Amino acid sequence: MAKRLYVGNLPFSATEESVREAFSAHGEVLNVAMIMDRDTGRPRGFGFVEMDDAGADAAIVAMNGASLGGRSLRVNEAQPRPEGGGGGSGFRERRPRRENNYDN
């Protein structure tokens, strides 16, 4: 079975290939997903690496805190997204307007 790892604090110059190469020293890398900014198309500085269980466990120990491109990586097992999302719809409930109670 495979585990999905969160890899944070990636240098913006990191590529899928450079991340794959760094993690492949610890086991078979099945997939690398670099997260890009939707608006600018530039990297957001984090991604996900999918590896076999043993390789993933070894990679967490070896790569958490390791330097890549001059940045100290944060590596842990990825957590599932929380239900309901965190926003982004742009909708928020508004309070009703206050009435002006000026007595003339």
The pLDDT value given to residue 69: 93
From residue 5, how far is each of 12, 39, 50, 91 by CA, in Å?
18, 25, 6, 32
Q: Which residues of the chain have pLDDT under 70?
A: 84-104
The pLDDT value given to residue 93: 59
CATH for 2-74 (3.30.70.330, 1.20.1260.10, 3.40.50.11030, 3.40.50.300): 3.30.70.330
**How many other C-beta atoms can be found within 10 angstroms of the C-beta atom of residue 95?**
5
Q: Tokens at residue 57, please?
A: 């466990």
Distance CA 37, CA 81 (A): 18
Q: Which amino acid is at 11?
A: P
Predicted model pTM? 0.77
